[in-house]
Structure formats: structure tokens, C-alpha cells
Amino acid sequence: MTIFNDLRLRARRRAEYRRTLRALRALPIDTALDLDIYHGDAKTIARQAVYGPTGAQH
């Protein structure tokens, strides 16, 4: 993998992380609670959704 491909992949994942985080934070509180999502866990949930359970960058 070239450095440019790596940079593109990282940028794409970062954008996906930000979209996911924004969507989680925008959930109405009753919907979030129905889904068993605590607002304070939004970053962790978004990170795991995009980067996997270990949160690895690659």
C-alpha cells in the first residue's frame, strides 16, 4: 500500500467516524435509551463501528 493510499484510507475512515459520531449524538434521548446507548459512550461506539473492536487505525 502506498503512502497516498494509506492517507486516503485514513481520511475516509476519519470522515466516516465523524459522520457516525454526529448521527449518534443527534439521536433523541428516548431513542438512544431504547437502543441502550449512553450519550457518553458515543465516541467509543463510533470508533468501534469504524475502526473495529480494537480501534486500530489499519
Confidence of residue 56 (pLDDT cuts 50, 70, 90): low
Tell me the per-residue pLDDT of 31-48, one tens digit each, with 9 for 90 and over: 999 999 999 999 999 999
Q: How far apart are CA 29 and CA 25, in angstroms?
A: 9
35 lies in which domain range?
A: 1-49
Cell numbers 428516548 label which residue? 30
Going by C-alpha positions, the residue among 11, 12, 14 that lies closest to residue 46 is 14
Q: How far apart are CA 8 and CA 38, in angstroms?
A: 31
Q: How far apart are CA 10 and CA 20, in angstroms?
A: 15
Q: Averaged over 47-52, what is the pLDDT?
A: 96
pLDDT mean across residues, the chain: 92
How many structural domains does the chain have? Answer: 1
Query: Among residues of the chain, what percentage have pLDDT more than 90?
Result: 86
Confidence of residue 1 (pLDDT cuts 50, 70, 90): low
**Is 57 domain-assigned?**
no
pLDDT of 15 above 70: yes
Asked if residue 46 lies in contact with residue 20, where contact means CB atoms within 8 angstroms, the answer is yes
